[in-house]
Structure 1
C-alpha cells in the first residue's frame, strides 16, 4: 500500500527564501523580515495533472539583526507566536511546532514547520479522496482541492508592525473560503500589540458601539435592527469586536472575515475608526 501511495503522491516541494523588504530598514526596528515559499501538488493519479490538491504558502518570518540578544529573542517570539496561532489550519498542524534550538535558524525553523504542513496537507488529501476517486473516477474535477496562505508585513511605527495573511481554502462545493488573519507586533520585544495596549481599560463597550455606529452608516441603514434585518449583518448575534484588526498610523481597521457576520455574498467587511474617533478611548502617553 505504501508503494502504491508513493507512486500516486507527487510532492513538488519548493522551498526558497526570498529577501522580504524590511519593515523600515533601520536597526531601530529590532528585527527584519524574510520569507519562505512552499508549493506542493498532490495527485490522485500520477499519470494526469488533475485531480489534485494544491498548496501554496508564502510565509514571512522574523529574523534578528546580527547577534543582538534582544533582537534574537524578539524574532523567535514572533515566529513562535505565528506557528502557535490559528493562522494556519489546525487540520495540517500535527507535528508542526519544532522546538527552538541554537542550531536552528529562524529560516530553518520556519522551513521545517511549513514542510510538515505541506506533508500533512498531502496525506490528508489522499486519505480523504483516494478511495472515493477509485470508485468514481468519472467525477474527477470534484476532487480538486487548494489551500493558499500569502502573508505580508507593514511597519506602522517604531513600535508596531502589522502582520497580515490572506488565506483561501477550497474543499469542494460551490465556493471556497477566504480569510484575512491580522495581528500586530512590537519589533523590539516580539510581543503582540493588542487593543488593551493602546486603549484605556473599559474600552470594550464604547468601542463596540463605535463599530456598530460605523456599520450603520456604512450600510446606509438607520439603526441596528435595520442592519440586522435589511443588510443581514449580525443577524443572529450581538455586535462584537473582531479578533482581526490592523493598528495603523491614522486609526484602526477591524476585519470581519467572509461568512463571519454576514452571508457569503457580502464578502469581507472592514470598519475603520480614525484616531479622532478613538481619541477618548486612547491611553494617555
Structure 2
C-alpha cells in the first residue's frame, strides 16, 4: 500500500511541475518577436565610429482587442509610437535613432576625428531585450531591459515592467491592485524591506550606504506582479547612486493582504 501511495504522490508532483512549466510556456507561445541588429557607421571613412542597435521585442501574435491594447501599450512605452505593427514601430524607431545619431554627432566628429582619445565618445550602443512571464491571476508580466551608451563615463541601464490583464489586455496599475490609501502602508513595508536587505538599522545607516540621500522612498510604478509576491523595481539613480545598481524590493501577498483589492 505504501508503494502505491508513493507512486501516486510522485505522479502528482510530476504533474504539478509539468503544469507549472506549461503555464509559462503557454504565455510565451502567444508572443512572437521582432529582432533587429544594425551597425551604422558615422562616416564613410575607414575605422569610423558607429552606432550599434540590437533590439528584441516581443508582441502578442493574435487578432484581438487585447492584443491591440497590449501591443499599442508596448509600442508607446518603449518607442513612443502607436497604431503600427511591431515591425513597423521597430523600423521607425531604428531609423529615427540612426538619423538623430548622424545629425547630432557628425558636426562634432568633424572637429574630433583626428583625436584618437575622443573616438570612444562617438561609439553609440542601444540594446533592448524583452521577456514575458505569467503573474498573479494569469496576468502577463512584460519586462524590458534597456542598455544605452551615448558617450560619457558609463552605459545607462533601465528596466521597465508592464503587467497586463490576461483577458482584457489592459495595463494593470497600482490602483487596480491596491485599495484607496495604500500608499503609506506600502511605503512603510518597502522601507522595512530596504533596511532588511541592506542590513541597515536606521535612516542614517541607509544614507551611509548611499540610499535616499536626496529623496524619500516612494512606491514606484515599476513592479513585477508575480505569482507569490510583488517585486518593486528601482532603476539606478532613483533611490541610490549609479554604482549601487538596480534595487528590487519584494513583498509577499501575505504581507500585502490588508491593502489589496480582492482578486
Superposition TM-score tier, normalisation by shorter sequence: 0.7 to 0.9
Note the C-alpha offset of 1:56: 1.0
| Other structure's SS at 1:53 match | strand
What's the CA shift string for 1:21-75, capped at 9, x where partnerless? 996565xx7x9211101222221232435410111110011122xx6xxxx1000
Given the alignment, which residue of 144, 147, 150 partners 2:126?
147
- 2:170 is matched with 191
RMSD: 2.1
TM-score normalised according to structure 2 size: 0.84
Give SS of 1:184's match.
strand
* Corresponding position: 1:82 with 2:74: yes
Select 1:267's aligned residue among 240, 245, 248: 245
The whole-number CA distance in structure 1 between the counterparts of 2:108 and 2:179 is: 55
Gap runs ≥5 in structure 1: 1-20, 101-108
Q: TM-score, normalised by structure 1?
A: 0.78
Instruction: Answer yes or no: is the 8 Å Cα contact 1:160–1:184 preserved in 2.
Output: yes
| Structure 1 stretches of 4+ moved >6 Å | none
3-state SS, counterpart of residue 242 of structure 1: coil
Instruction: Give the direction of change, closer, same or farther, for the CA distance of 1:157–1:277 in structure 2 (3 Å limit).
Output: closer
Q: CA deviation at 1:128?
A: 1.4
The answer on whether the counterparts of 2:220 and 2:232 sit within 8 Å (CA) in structure 1 is: yes
User: For this pair of structures, how many residues does the alignment match?
Assistant: 239
Q: CA deviation at 1:197?
A: 2.0
> Aligned runs of 1:197-216 on 2, under 5 Å?
197-216=176-195
Superposed, which structure 2 residues align to 1:236-247 within 5 Å? Answer: 236-247=214-225
User: 1:169 and 2:156 equivalent?
Assistant: no
Match of residue 248, structure 1, among 214, 223, 226: 226
Structure (1 or 2) with the greater helix fraction: 2
Contact 2:137 2:227 (C-alpha < 8 Å) held by counterparts: no
